[in-house]
Amino acid sequence: MSRGISRRQLLQQATGAAAGAVAAACGGGALRAAPTAARAAQDGGTAGAKITVVGREGTIPVLLDNSQDWMAQTGITVEPVVVSTDLGRKILQSAVTGAFLADVQLHDDNYGADLYARGYYQEVPADVKGTVGWDDIVPFYRDRLSGWQGKTYGIPYDGDNMFLTYRRDLMADPAIQERFTAAYGYGMDPATGPKSWQEHGQYAEFFTGWAWDPSGEEGYGLSSMWKRGGGLFWAFCSRAAAYAKHPGAPDFYFDVETGDPLINSEAFVRALTEWKTEMETYAPPGALNFEWANGNDQLMTGRVAMVNYWADTGKDAQDPENSTVKGKLGYHLTPGSTDVYNPKARAWETQPEVSHAPFLGFGGRNFAIARDTKQAEASWEFLKHACSPETTLTVSVTPGSGMDPVRESQFNVDAWVNSPFQWNPDEARSYLDTIRANLNHPNLVADLRLPGWTQYQDALETSVSAVLAGSSEAQGALDQAAAQWKSITGQLGGAEKQMTYYRDLLGV
């Protein structure tokens, strides 16, 4: 961010540019729905209402700056609630204690089961679904993550999934290609990056220990999120998915029939062992403390050649003030494997080709209305505006929003090319195609979304972090985590109850 411009001025410029990009991409009529909703709100007697909204720190300012005209037209005032602690756990605390937090809430999908099962939010009315273009939402987010036991409580707003982001420019460089081929006997593929974890290890080894970036600094192969509480859960599960998610079985975290945890299987043990070796061998010093932000910065500053992160990475890279890799990146599915563990047979099986298992880590975020709000009508009117296809697209292409594609209409290359950071068309297409390939993949892995989510998360992260720190062995640590998971399941009503919810999430 420029020191000569305020954060609010930057957001105003960015949202203005983003709105123009959306309008251009949709033939100039993209923003007509918002004023229509505004007039309806004005006619409905909600003028003068004041509502509160809470959500991701970077998202809400972008949304509210993009809602100034709407507020002026409707007379509804929307004020942000600032939460300095972990937002997801703060919202869960509100649900448990009954303490009112905000009228409108943008919550993490991992918490959806705990929040929806408690009846913490109001059901989404049919007229709201019609106004926000419900059918435009990507089916998995719409059908699996927006509701609970047949009732809809949230409107998907952020579509999180994880994939490989890599230095395409380096892998296409003839001199670097020649050097790699001489070492490994095959050429790097700049169109996809490494396709398997075996190739990924060779790419990582190759890029470690020499100055391949124009900065002249010594480079490294990869970065990730190895710090407990800093994204470790999702990074590890994404690393394990290719081994642990068999294309012929729905099971991943649990055996869907018995409820037995699978996180201590040979597949997870192998993934953790390899992941630890990668951290120690191919990552920059201090990697054990890498979380989302500083791990992501390693790619932005040209220090590592690859990350397996969320879609935010591609957007962050377009900001020339904070990134040296704008226009230099490629995107592809998280590396896969020909060796895949069959949880039913409890044996490794060799696949005829590389098997991928894209992981929808974190799942994204949904907007919802608190059950105890005293401003329900005004709150729903605000979400008709905020969650419209037009506003959702404008927010998602605005720098700093942190919102990734969740709607079919967001896969419009022109909107990204004409956004404030002006993506290279080929890179934008690669980025959006990779996200779409993830979401449409037949072996897609849904993130954990069960009552007791934070307990499961904490148990696994504690065991994995102990292995990464060198104080535990992989098998023993994951056995301990699995035992804790089994205990947690028992405390929350038993395997039959929890697996009913898990099968519902998986659609089996």
Say if residue 139 is in the same domain as residue 245. Answer: no
Predicted confidence (pLDDT) at residue 171 exceeds the cutoff of 60 = yes
H or E element in which residue 434 lies: helix 425-440
115-134 as b/e, with b when 16 or more CB fall inside 10 Å?
bbeeebbbbbeeebbebbbb
Predicted confidence (pLDDT) at residue 181 exceeds the cutoff of 80 = yes
d(CA 70, CA 467) in angstroms, rounded, equals 51
d(CA 41, CA 121) in angstroms, rounded, equals 21
3-state secondary structure labels for all residues of 148-211: ECCEECCEEEECCCEEEEEEHHHHCCHHHHHHHHHHHCCCCCCCCCCCEHHHHHHHHHHCCCCC
Residues sharing a CB contact under 8 Å with residue 324, sequence separation 6 or more, in sequence order: 213, 214, 215, 300, 301, 302
Residue 250 is assigned to a structural domain of this protein:
yes
Domain that includes residue 172, residue range: 162-357
Predicted confidence (pLDDT) at residue 270 exceeds the cutoff of 90 = yes
Give the model's pLDDT for residue 44: 57
Give tens-digit pLDDT for 94-147: 999 999 999 999 999 999 999 999 999 999 999 999 999 999 999 999 999 999
d(CA 331, CA 416) in angstroms, rounded, equals 15
Give the model's pLDDT for residue 131: 97
Say if residue 299 is in the same domain as residue 260. Answer: yes
d(CA 91, CA 88) in angstroms, rounded, equals 5
Say if residue 26 is in the same domain as residue 174. Answer: no
Residue 49 is assigned to a structural domain of this protein:
yes
Mean pLDDT of the chain: 92
d(CA 126, CA 388) in angstroms, rounded, equals 14
Say if residue 78 is in the same domain as residue 207. Answer: no
Residue 491 is assigned to a structural domain of this protein:
no
Tokens of 368: 């919802």
Looking only at the bridges linking them, the beta strands covering 445-446 and 359-360 are parallel
H or E element in which residue 329 lies: strand 329-332
Q: Is the dihedral of CA 291, 419, 388, 36 positive or negative?
A: positive
Say if residue 283 is in the same domain as residue 382. Answer: no
d(CA 207, CA 180) in angstroms, rounded, equals 9
Predicted confidence (pLDDT) at residue 5 exceeds the cutoff of 60 = no
Residue 501 is assigned to a structural domain of this protein:
no
Residue 205 is assigned to a structural domain of this protein:
yes
Residue range 316-331: mean pLDDT, rounded: 94
Beta bridge pairs of residue 86: none
User: Which among 31, 16, 5 is positioned nearest to 420, based on CA atoms?
Assistant: 16
Residue range 425-446: mean pLDDT, rounded: 97
Say if residue 49 is in the same domain as residue 98. Answer: yes
Say if residue 204 is in the same domain as residue 343. Answer: yes
Say if residue 329 is in the same domain as residue 374. Answer: no
Q: Determine contact, residues 225/279, Cβ cutoff 8 Å.
A: no
Confidence band of 20 (pLDDT split at 50, 70, 90) = low
Give tens-digit pLDDT for 50-63: 999 999 988 999 99
Q: Determine contact, residues 16/50, Cβ cutoff 8 Å.
A: no
Give the model's pLDDT for residue 46: 83
Compute, in degrees rounded to 10, the torsion defined by CA atoms 49, 54, 60, 61. 70
196-211 as b/e, with b when 16 or more CB fall inside 10 Å?
bbbbbbbbbebbbeee
Q: Which of 316, 338, 357 is the last residue of a domain?
A: 357
Q: Considering the entire predicted model, what is its pTM? A: 0.92
Say if residue 198 is in the same domain as residue 303. Answer: yes
Predicted confidence (pLDDT) at residue 477 exceeds the cutoff of 70 = yes
Percent of the chain with pLDDT over 70: 91
Residue range 466-493: mean pLDDT, rounded: 98
Predicted confidence (pLDDT) at residue 2 exceeds the cutoff of 60 = no
Residue range 360-385: mean pLDDT, rounded: 97
Residue 494 is assigned to a structural domain of this protein:
no
Residue 446 is assigned to a structural domain of this protein:
no
User: Which among 302, 303, 326, 305 is positioned nearest to 314, based on CA atoms?
Assistant: 326
Query: What total number of domains does the chain contain?
Result: 2
Confidence band of 18 (pLDDT split at 50, 70, 90) = low
Say if residue 205 is in the same domain as residue 323. Answer: yes
The CATH number of the domain where 258 resides is what?
3.40.190.10
Q: Which of 357, 375, 401 is the last residue of a domain?
A: 357
Say if residue 376 is in the same domain as residue 347. Answer: no
Give the model's pLDDT for residue 124: 98
Phi, psi (deg, nearest 5) at residue 182? -65, -30
Give the model's pLDDT for residue 467: 98
Residue range 357-385: mean pLDDT, rounded: 97
Residue 219 is assigned to a structural domain of this protein:
yes
Say if residue 344 is in the same domain as residue 219. Answer: yes
Predicted confidence (pLDDT) at residue 12 exceeds the cutoff of 80 = no
Residue range 333-360: mean pLDDT, rounded: 98
